[in-house]
């Protein structure tokens, strides 16, 4: 056994332990100007601004997750409609083969309703025009449902930086008040409020950026989903007109 390597290994291990202990010791030191200090030392305006930003962030992430799941479901149902609906013997059978909550079944039901309920005052309307209106109304309702919640993301993305900026202005105002009351611009009088203002700015940007990115991403996915819906509606319209001529 080489006895010269053992002292070197032990020394390296000891050095590692000392460095790890020092690193751990630095981690447990409380930051007097961190987020916890902001909440503990901030006034009602600072706490209210922080809570508003937290609620805005929670709301935007909720919308992003729920709309992503909803869009994935619509795309999955589009594939199911492509596989089962057009292979059915009739539009009625094709609609029954789709899931009850499927937007494609809803469009098919509205198309059938428009094709069958064409009497009375509605009989004065051209059959082609009436079926087209029925399907387009159903497609518009599906599109409106897919766009629900996107306004929240747009609002959060556009207003969150200004809410954070308000917290920044309020923190600087508190810093100036403390300087004026103390009569001296020492670092301990300025660091706390200025640190709070910078944290507010960072939180405002952290809330706004995911909301803007999520909004643009969901709008793009909505476009893909609506392409499937519009294609289904156009094909359904052609089938209903063809069935009426027989």
List per-residue pLDDT tens for the chain, 246 residues long. 444 444 454 445 435 444 544 444 444 445 555 556 566 666 788 788 888 999 999 999 999 999 999 999 999 999 988 888 888 888 888 888 888 888 999 998 888 888 777 666 666 667 778 888 889 999 999 999 999 889 999 999 999 999 988 888 887 787 777 777 766 666 666 666 676 777 888 889 999 999 999 999 999 999 999 999 999 999 888 888 877 655
pLDDT score at 18: 44
* Helix (H), strand (E) at residue 43: none
What is the model's pLDDT at position 63?
A: 95
Residue 3: per-residue pLDDT: 45
Long-range CB pairs of 110-116 (<8 Å, 24+ gap) are 110/134, 110/135, 110/137, 110/138, 111/135, 111/138, 111/233, 111/236, 111/237, 111/240, 112/240, 114/240, 115/240, 115/243, 115/244
- What is the pLDDT, as a whole number, of residue 10? 43
pTM of the predicted structure, to 2 decimals: 0.74
Query: What pLDDT score does 155 carry?
Result: 94
Helix (H) or strand (E) holding 123: none
Give the torsion sign (CA, 18, 21, 25, 26).
positive
Q: What is the pLDDT at residue 24?
A: 43
- Which two three-digit tokens encode residue 100? 């009850």
Cβ(203)–Cβ(51) below 8 Å:
no
Contact 98, 77 (CB under 8 A): yes
> Alpha carbon of 100 to those of 41, 124, 197, 235: distances in Å?
54, 32, 52, 20
pLDDT at 112: 85
Kindly report the length of the chain: 246
């Amino acid at each position: 056994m080489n006895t010269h390597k053992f002292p070197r290994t032990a020394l390296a291990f000891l050095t590692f332990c000392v460095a790890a202990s020092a690193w751990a010791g630095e981690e447990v030191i409380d930051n007097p100007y961190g987020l916890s200090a902001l909440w503990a030392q901030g006034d009602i305006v600072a706490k209210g601004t922080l809570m508003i930003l937290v609620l805005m962030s929670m709301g935007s992430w909720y919308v992003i997750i729920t709309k992503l799941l909803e869009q994935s479901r619509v795309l999955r149902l589009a594939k199911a409609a492509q596989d089962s609906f057009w292979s059915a013997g009739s539009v009625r059978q094709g609609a029954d083969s789709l899931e009850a909550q499927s937007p494609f079944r809803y469009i098919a039901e509205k198309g059938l309703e428009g094709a069958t309920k064409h009497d009375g005052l509605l009989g004065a309307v051209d059959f082609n025009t009436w079926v087209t209106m029925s399907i387009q109304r159903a497609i518009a309702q599906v599109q409106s449902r897919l766009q629900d919640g996107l306004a929240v993301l747009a609002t959060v993305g556009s207003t969150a930086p200004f809410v954070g900026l308000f917290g920044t202005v309020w923190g600087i105002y508190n810093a100036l008040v403390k300087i004026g009351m103390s009569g001296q611009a020492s670092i301990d009088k300025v660091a706390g409020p200025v640190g709070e203002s910078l944290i507010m700015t960072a939180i405002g940007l952290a809330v706004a950026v995911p909301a803007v990115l999520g909004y643009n991403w969901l709008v793009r996915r909505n476009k893909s989903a609506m392409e499937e819906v519009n294609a289904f509606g156009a094909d359904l319209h052609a089938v209903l007109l063809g069935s009426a001529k027989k």
